[in-house]
């Protein structure tokens, strides 16, 4: 009996020693490492490293064609006394706040409208997304033409209706220019908000509305007590993205006004481009970019709390 068993084991080839190479190719952690290499390479060399470098550059006096030396907080002190910088901060906050609120309101309204039973629903939904697909710069040029000082179609229409008697100077006057770029930003952002919120609305069970109708709720009550609470988590995420991309907007402003008239529409991103690339003061431009980071962190925190709340709603954690 024992012999038989021994004979059988010795007849089989002894298992091969697992070599270091085997461990590298089969071990879960090593395999994970190999799979991560391409993505990590890109993100480390072209994202994490420049991010750190940008913060470092903001403490130096680097210019184009000349490596900088460490000058401490001098760039920031300089910016603190610079009225154009503060104007750009004001513009950025104004632009982000106004555009985000209106984008959210109109986007949610549009999502609710699109959630109704409609003829040609698929086509309408596809058409709504087109502003999001078309490159921002190109639609900004269309707006530039629509809001031209001499040949604006809006001025022309209002004149025909007899509401005004001379052309509106949309992009030449400081407040008009602000309103115009904010409008263009809203126009561009609504599709994203509307379509993502629509996706959220579609997950709300219709039986809730039926139950509420039986209980005698009106449309506003249904919206207030069913739609809004169930959508809150997705709203948090969508608005985080919206705020983030509005806050760091560059291309729309650059294509329409380049920060003008008299810096009235300069955002922090456009000002940093102008200072760093056009004037060549890379250090100062980097300081303006770095000054945007605290705001971005605040937006990310909001998103994080939004996601937490969603988990709580799904019962994954104790309340």
Give the binding-site size for another protein (rule: CB under 8 A). Answer: 105
What is d(CA 193, CA 242) in angstroms, rounded to the nearest whole number? 8
Tokens 């309101």 locate to 105
Q: Are 176 and 168 in contact (CB under 8 A)?
A: yes
134 near another protein (CB under 8 A): yes
One residue of 145, 221, 228, 301 binding another protein per CB under 8 A: 145
Report 195-224 residues binding another protein (CB under 8 A): 195-196, 199-200, 202, 204-206, 209-210, 213
One residue of 6, 105, 262, 296 binding another protein per CB under 8 A: 296
141 near another protein (CB under 8 A): yes
Instruction: Name the residue nearer to another protein (CB basis): 182 or 286.
Output: 286
Q: What letter would DSSP give residue 279? A: S
One residue of 106, 168, 217, 302 binding another protein per CB under 8 A: 106
Report 148-187 residues binding another protein (CB under 8 A): 148, 151, 153, 156, 187
Residue 265 makes CB contacts below 8 A (sequence gap 6+) with 91, 177, 178, 181, 253, 256, 257, 259
CB of 10 to another protein, least distance (A): 25
Q: Of 193, 225, 223, whose CA–CA distance to 104 is shortest?
A: 193
Following DSSP, what letter does each residue of 160-176 receive, concatenated? HTTS-SS---TTTSHHH
- Here's the x/- map for another protein, 249-288, by CB under 8 A: it reads as xxx--xx-------------x--xx--xx----x--xx--
CB of 279 to another protein, least distance (A): 12
One residue of 238, 257, 265, 274 binding another protein per CB under 8 A: 238
What is d(CA 186, CA 99) in angstroms, rounded to the nearest whole number? 6
Instruction: Name the residue nearer to another protein (CB basis): 73 or 296.
Output: 296
Report 299-318 residues binding another protein (CB under 8 A): 299-300, 303
Q: Which residues of 44-74 are buried (b: 16+ CB within 10 A; e: fewer)?
A: eeeeeeeeeebeebbbbbbeeeeebeeeeee
Tokens 């939004």 locate to 306
228 near another protein (CB under 8 A): no
86 near another protein (CB under 8 A): no
105 near another protein (CB under 8 A): no
Instruction: Name the residue nearer to another protein (CB basis): 77 or 135.
Output: 135
One residue of 6, 40, 73, 94 binding another protein per CB under 8 A: 40
- Here's the x/- map for another protein, 42-81, by CB under 8 A: it reads as xx-xxxxxxx-xx--x----x-------------------
CB of 71 to another protein, least distance (A): 16
- Tally Cβ neighbours within 10 Å of residue 238: 26
Residue 128 makes CB contacts below 8 A (sequence gap 6+) with 110, 114, 191, 194, 195
Instruction: Name the residue nearer to another protein (CB basis): 94 or 141.
Output: 141
Instruction: Name the residue nearer to another protein (CB basis): 244 or 264.
Output: 244
Instruction: Name the residue nearer to another protein (CB basis): 6 or 305.
Output: 305
Q: Of 278, 280, 254, 279, whose CA–CA distance to 266 is shortest?
A: 254
Q: How far is CA 171 from CA 36, 248, 298, 310, in A?
A: 48, 21, 32, 43
Tokens 């091969």 locate to 16
């Amino acid at each position: 009996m024992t012999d038989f068993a021994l004979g059988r084991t010795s007849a089989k080839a002894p298992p091969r020693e697992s070599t270091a190479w085997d461990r590298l190719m089969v071990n879960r952690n090593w395999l994970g490492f190999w799979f991560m290499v391409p993505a990590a390479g890109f993100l480390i060399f072209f994202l994490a490293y420049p991010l750190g470098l940008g913060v470092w550059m903001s403490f130096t006096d680097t210019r184009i064609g000349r490596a900088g030396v460490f000058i401490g907080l001098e760039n920031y002190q300089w910016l603190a006394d610079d009225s154009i910088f503060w104007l750009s901060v004001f513009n950025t906050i104004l632009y982000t706040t106004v555009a985000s609120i209106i984008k959210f309101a109109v986007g949610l309204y549009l999502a609710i409208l699109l959630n109704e039973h409609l003829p040609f629903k698929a086509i309408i939904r596809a058409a709504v997304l087109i502003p999001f697909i078309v490159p921002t710069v190109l639609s900004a040029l269309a707006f530039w033409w629509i809001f031209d000082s001499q040949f604006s179609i809006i001025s022309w229409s209002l004149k025909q209706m007899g509401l005004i008697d001379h052309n509106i100077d949309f992009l030449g006057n400081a407040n008009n220019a602000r309103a115009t770029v904010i409008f263009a930003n809203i126009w561009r952002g609504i599709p994203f908000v509307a379509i993502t919120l629509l996706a959220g609305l579609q997950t709300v069970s219709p039986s809730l509305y039926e139950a509420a109708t039986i209980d005698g709720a009106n449309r506003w009550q249904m919206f207030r007590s069913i739609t809004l609470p169930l959508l809150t988590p997705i709203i948090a995420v969508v608005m985080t993205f919206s705020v983030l991309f509005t806050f760091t907007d560059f291309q729309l402003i650059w294509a329409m006004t380049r920060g003008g008239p008299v810096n009235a529409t300069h955002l922090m991103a456009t000002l940093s481009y102008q200072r760093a690339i056009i004037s060549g003061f890379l250090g100062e431009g980097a300081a303006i970019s770095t000054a945007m980071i605290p705001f971005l962190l605040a937006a990310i925190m909001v998103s994080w709390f939004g996601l937490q709340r969603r988990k709580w709603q799904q019962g994954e954690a104790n309340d």
